[in-house]
Amino acid sequence: MASTKDIQRRIKSVGNTQKITRAMEMVSAAKMRKAVVSVLAIRPYAHAAWGVLTNLSRAFAEYKTGLLEVREVKRVLAIAVTSNRGLCGAFNSQIAKKIREEILHPESLKINRVGKEKIESTQENVEIDFITIGKKGENVVRRTGKNIVASFNDLSYLPKAEDVRVVGKMVIDDYLAKKYDKVVIFYTDYVSAMSQQAKVRQLLPISKIDLEKQIAEMDVLAKEYGLKDIHSEYKVEPTPEIVLEHIFPRLIEMQIYHAILESNASKESSRMLAMRNATDAAGEMKDSLTFVFNQIRQGKITQEIAEISAGRAALEN
Amino acid sequence: MIKFKIITPERTVFEAEVTQVTLPVTEGEVTILANHRPYIASLTPGEIVLKTKKADGEEEMDLVVSGGFIEFNENKLTVLADTAERAEEIDLKRAEEARTRAEELKKNCIEMDESEYARVAAAIQKESARIRVAKKHYTRSGMKIN
């Protein structure tokens, strides 16, 4: 049996671990609240951007080039949003699983959807390149042997829209240069504090119906909007086409930014949960160790009393 | 009165009722008064000037944007800016440093491609606007500029 000293040492170390996990839980809780607030802060922008698009819908419908051009899928660029550090429960492994699934069965990656239209690829295999955000995703992708074209590991937990602009620019430039025929993003959707979902979403080519759906998710009010007919004739300067060309990159950036914020909120909440479980487990462990410690101590005392009274009995006789 | 609102993906920067707004659009400068016709335009980096009627005359307020677009309809003006700042948020010294950096970049990179050049030029334009607005704000509020 372990000595009381050893057990005491273990109780202490488990207690220290518990303190750390509890602190991490509280930090994550605070960060999660901030992340959720910033997810909500994007809503007015999404809503207003949607309003402008609605009013440009006529030009939008005729626009078929550039970022709206639909090509047969040969090469795909995927953005993978993960965390830099571990200790956040199933957050990274969920995304990793999703990435591996899509690489093994790229059926849906092969299809370029534009609203209800689908353009299926005749290619046997599609090539997939990755942009990774977060070290964990980088490791996962590297293990699958896929090519990583860029890796962003230094985003803070509350990134600015400007930090994300680089990613957007890269994606747009490569798409316009016809280097890739489709761009998707892997991220974790924050459903609630208890549940998060790994998702894949098409960023490019821009499809009207998908965009509508995505903005509706960001902005509760947009659901009732949709692309309605315009009620008033707008004066558009310089031309509707040029304004659209300005808006599209912003929308792509906004989507990437939104995906990162969602992922961050998910990351913090799953870390919070993991740390809460760890704190609870440490508490249980401490209890059971204390129990064993008390048993040994009591055993020792009982033994000593028995020895003393045995000695006394021997003297009396 | 115009209901003015300026938003970025990160936050709603400013919201107020104003009488007059001057904006830096791609075609030049546009001033919008109440009951202007519905209008959509792209913005360039520059300053937005708001005028509000007060009991003791007019009050002016400045904002800096680095580009974006605007929508005006039914006396509601929404500015969707890439980044935006109120005059009092600008750190004059840092804005000046940023402009110097951008100008040096422009000088040093003779063999820049077109898009790179446009980016640097836009940065200079933006920083100049920031400096202008910040200086105006400081003089108005009676602070000394070194």
Q: What local confidence, expressed as pLDDT, does residue B82 receive?
A: 86
Length in residues, chain A: 317
Higher pLDDT, A145 or B88: A145
Between A11-20, A127-136, A286-295, the lowest mean confidence (pLDDT) is in A127-136
Specify if A2 maps to a domain.
no
How confident is the model at residue A277, as a pLDDT? 94
Q: What is the pLDDT of residues A134-162, one digit of tens each?
A: 899 899 899 988 888 888 888 777 788 87
- The reported pLDDT for the residue numbered B74 is 85
Query: Residue A285: its pLDDT value, please?
Result: 95
Domain of A227, in residue numbers: 34-274
pLDDT at B144: 57
Confidence category of residue A258, pLDDT binned at 50, 70, 90: confident
**Selected residue of B71, B72, B76, B114 to mutate for chain A interface (largest A Cβ count, 10 A):** B71
Does residue A74 belong to any structural domain of this protein?
A: yes
**pLDDT surpasses 60 at B146:** no
Angle (CA) B81 B19 B6, round 5°: 15
Would residue A302 count as lying in a domain?
Answer: no
pLDDT band at B85 (very low <50, low <70, confident <90, very high): confident
The closest of A27, A67, A79, A54 to A263, measured between CA atoms, is A79
Q: Please check whether residue A309 lies inside any domain of the structure.
A: no
- Cα(A247)–Cα(A53) distance, rounded to whole angstroms? 8
- Looking at residue B102, its pLDDT comes to 81
Q: How confident is the model at residue A306 (pLDDT cuts 50, 70, 90)?
A: very high
Position A233 in a domain: yes
Question: In terms of Cα–Cα distance, which of B137, B60, B134, B67 is closest to B99?
Answer: B134
- Report yes or no on A16 lying in a domain: no
Q: With CB atoms and an 8 Å threshold, state whether A237 touches B40.
A: yes
Q: Name every residue whose Cβ is closer than 8 Å to that of residue B143 and which is 6 or more positions away in sequence.
A: none
Mean pLDDT, chain A, rounded, equals: 84
Chain B residues touching A233 at Cβ < 8 A: 38
Q: In chain B, which residues have their Cβ closer than 8 Å to the Cβ of A231? A: none
Query: Could you tell me the two tokens for A5?
Result: 């000293």
Alpha carbon distance B99, B103 (integer Å): 6
Q: How far apart are CA A150 and CA A180, in angstroms?
A: 14
* Band (B104; pLDDT cuts 50, 70, 90): confident
What band does A221 get if pLDDT is binned at 50, 70 and 90? low
Nearest to residue B67, comparing CAs of A253, A284, A294? Answer: A253
> What is the phi/psi pair of residue A78, to 5°?
-120, 135
pLDDT over 70 percentage in chain A: 89
pLDDT at residue A227, as a whole number: 46
Q: What percent of chain A lies above the pLDDT cut of 90?
A: 30
Q: Which residue has the tokens 């006394």?
A: A312
- Choose which CATH entry (1.20.5, 1.10.3470, 2.60.120, 3.80.10) describes domain B88-141: 1.20.5
- CATH level 2 (architecture), domain B2-87: Sandwich (2.60)
Which amino acid, A92?
N
- Which among A290, A41, A252, A276 is positioned nearest to A159, based on CA atoms? A41
β-pair partners for B59:
B52
CA angle A128, A125, A166 (to 5 degrees): 15
Nearest to A215 by CA among A173, A247, A183: A247
- Given a cut of 70, is residue A230 above it in pLDDT? no
Q: What separation in angstroms does the CA of A3 have from each of A8, A144, A298?
A: 9, 48, 13
How many contacts (CB atoms, under 8 Å) link A and B? 83
Average confidence (pLDDT) over B56-72 = 85
**Mean pLDDT within A80-86:** 89
C-alpha separations of A50 from A221, A248, A250 in Å: 10, 11, 12
What's the structural domain count of chain A?
1
* Residues in chain A closer than 8 A to B36 (CB atoms): none
Of A45, A234, A238, the CB nearest to B9: A45
Q: How confident is the model at residue A1 (pLDDT cuts 50, 70, 90)?
A: low
What CATH number has the domain bearing residue A139?
A: 3.40.1380.10
Tell me the average pLDDT of chain B. 83
Residue type at A130 in one-letter notation: F
Across A58-62, A182-186, A285-289, the highest mean pLDDT is recorded for: A285-289
Confidence of residue A224 (pLDDT cuts 50, 70, 90): very low
Return phi, psi of residue A121, to 5°.
-85, 140
Q: For residue B27, which residues of chain A lie inside 8 Å, CB to CB?
A: 237-238
What residue of B is the nearest CA neighbor of A236?
A: B40
Judged against a pLDDT cut of 50, whether residue B32 lies above it is answered with yes
Token pair 């708001």 in the structure block, residue = B50
Q: Quick one: CA torsion of B130, B135, B138, B143, rounded to 10 degrees?
A: 140
The answer to whether A121 and A73 have CB atoms below 8 angstroms apart is: yes
Which residues of chain A does B40 touch, with a Cβ-Cβ cutoff of 8 Å?
Answer: 52, 55-56, 234-237, 240, 243
Which residue matches tokens 């821009």?
A206
Looking at the predicted complex, does its ipTM rise above 0.95? no
Q: Which of A97-106, A215-224, A272-281 has the lowest mean pLDDT?
A: A215-224
Question: Shortest Cα distance from B38 to chain A (angstroms)?
Answer: 5
In this predicted structure, which of A30-34, A109-113, A238-242, A266-270 has the lowest mean pLDDT?
A: A109-113
For residues A63-83, average pLDDT: 84
Domain ranges of chain B: 2-87, 88-141
Mean pLDDT of the region A215-224: 58
Whether residue A69 is contained in a domain is answered as yes
Does the pLDDT at position A209 exceed 50?
A: yes
Q: What is the mean pLDDT of residues A223-235?
A: 56
Q: What is the DSSP letter of B10?
A: S
Would you say A126 and A73 are in contact if contact means Cβ atoms under 8 Å apart?
Answer: yes
The overall pTM is greater than 0.90: no
pLDDT tens column, A40-66: 888 788 878 877 777 777 667 777 777
Residue A111 lies in a domain: yes
